[in-house]
Every structure is written in structure tokens, then in C-alpha cells.
Amino acid sequence: MWRTVATDVVAGVRYVSHNTLALLGLLAVTLVVFLAGRAEWRHSMETRALGWLMERAAERTTASAAPESPDMLLAMAEPEAISRATALDPAELNRQQAALVSWIARRYSVAQEPVGRLVQEAWAVGKKAGVEPTLILAVMAIESGFNPFAQSHVGAQGLMQVMTGIHHDKYELFGGRRAAFDPVTNLRVGVQVLQDCIRRAGSLEAGLKYYVGAANLATDGGYAAKVLAEQTYLREVVAGRKVAFNAPLPAAGTVVVQAPAAAVAVPHSAALPSGAGASAPGNGLMPIPAAAPVAPAAASDPLPVMHRPEQVAMARS
């Protein structure tokens, strides 16, 4: 009797297990077929699985490290951190751009790799906006000295000292106002604001006066003169000429003689000036017209208080 009961129980368990395994197999096949047609679900599951595996690996690494070990970086290793770095090997640039990188790095005591990325971006954005890349770099030099974390007392932030609170709508395209401290984003937004200022003012010099917030003042305190003088040095470097790393800028109160509007936006198909050298294919190098002359102003010219109201007015218009 007990043998019969045991045999029946074993047979029942085997039957149920067989059917359960068959059911699980059917469910697995159905799930695979379903995921094959849902790429986004499959990607989500793969991402979660990868995240779980990475967390487990990090936990094992932390557990294996001795508590007294001074190498805490082992527990905080983040191989993907390189993707956040704003850097570029200057060797990837053409000869003219690489020369600019070297000169800027020496003049402003900054590393060549991040400057290389900014020079590359200035060429790309300048080509799209019709603004000379040397002008973009000159504005960055005068505004922040290539410090991506610079901030003025009136709220201008980043490399090109854009009024983040006023132009928050532009930064929304890049994820929000904190993007002002991403060097590449700040450059792109700054060039848009600079282009708007030049177009609104009608000339390069007047546009720079708008940009610094002195359009309604008698003088911009020498701001435009400094930017154009720095641009002249950058042009000389691009042309292959030697420029001292400590070359001086005009003193405060210097004014600028108006130059033709053609200096604002230049045709990309024109030839480079004599001595500038041939550009590498596809680098988007723009020609560099003659620099605008500068002349000292009267010593009595007052220095303006820079509140950049023009940027406010432009953002509201």
C-alpha cells in the first residue's frame, strides 16, 4: 500500500514538474519573441542588467580592498569620467589651429588640451554663425582669461561671460542654466549672443559695446579696443608670425576707429591672406581680414559701470 502511494506521489510530482517546465519554456519563448519586436524595452533591460553587474563588481572591489589601504581611488574608479572632460589633443588640429593653442596656453597659463577643444569649437561655431573664430577666442580671452568658472558681480558667467539669468532660455536647449559652466555650451551660447549684438548694433565695434553693456554710455572703457587688439595677435599667430606671449593690450579708455562691417562676417570660400598657410581639408578655416586700427582716447573719458543692460533688452525683445 505504501509503495503504491509513494509511486503515485512521485508520478504526480513528475507530471506537475514536467508541465511546469513546459510552461516556463513557453513563457521564455514568448518573452524572447516579444522583446525582439520591442527594441526600447530590450535596451532598457540590458542597461539595468549592466548597471546591476557594475554595482556588484564595484562592491567586490570595495570589499577586496583593505580598510587601511591609502588608495581610495580604487573604490571610486569611474572609467567613463573621460567622457566629461573638455579636452583635445592639439595634434589632431591643423598647423594654424595648433599654433593658436600653443600661444593661448602660454599667454594665459592654461593647459593645451582644453584650449585645443575650444579652438576646434570656435572654428566650427564661427563657420556656422559667420563670426571669425579669432574674434570668438579674443572675447573669451578678455572676458574670462579662459576660466570656465568665472563670474562677474552682475551675474555674467563662464568663458564668454553671458548673463545666464537673462539667457536661461538658450541654456534650456542644453539642459538648464548650469550648462553655463560647460565650456563648449558657454561658447555656443556666447557666440549666439555676440552675433545678435553685432547684428543689432550694425558693426563689429558697436556690437562689442552692446555685448559688454555699454551701448548707452559714451565709452566702453576700452573693451572693444582690447578685444580687437587680442584678435590682431591671434591673427598674427594664425599667419605664422611670432607674437610675444606677454604682448600688451590697450589701456583703459582706448577707443576704436570704426572698421567696415565686412570684418564681422567673412565668406568661407575666400583665400587666406599671404603668409597664413594652407588650411587642412575640411577644417572650416575662415579668412582673416585686416585688423581694425586702435587709437588712444582722451584721458578724461570715464570708465563705464558694466551692467550689460543690452543683453537684458535683447533677451526681452
Neighbouring C-beta atoms of residue 146, cutoff 10 Å: 21
Q: Which of 12-16, 97-101, 292-296 is predicted with the least confidence, judged by mean pLDDT? A: 292-296
pLDDT digits (tens, 9 = 90+) for 132-151: 999 999 999 999 999 999 99
Confidence band (pLDDT; 50, 70, 90) for 293?
very low
- Give the chain's length: 317
pLDDT digits (tens, 9 = 90+) for 151-186: 999 999 999 999 999 999 999 999 999 999 999 999
pLDDT score, position 4: 76
Q: Supply the DSSP symbol for 70.
A: S
Structure pTM? 0.64
pLDDT digits (tens, 9 = 90+) for 214-230: 988 989 999 999 999 99
Q: Which residue is listed with cell 537684458?
A: 312
C-alpha cell of 286? 575662415
Phi-psi region of 277 (alpha: psi -120 to 50; beta: other; left: phi over 0): left
Contact, 192 vs 182, CB < 8 A? no
294: β partners: 256
pLDDT digits (tens, 9 = 90+) for 95-109: 999 999 999 999 999
Q: Which residues contact 181 (CB under 8 A, 6 or more apart)?
A: 148, 149, 157, 158
256: β partners: 294
Label residue 100 exposed, middle or buried (CB < 10 Å: 0-12, 13-18, 19+).
buried
Average pLDDT, the chain: 77
Across the chain, where does the E strand assignment appear? 156-157, 162-163, 255-256, 294-295
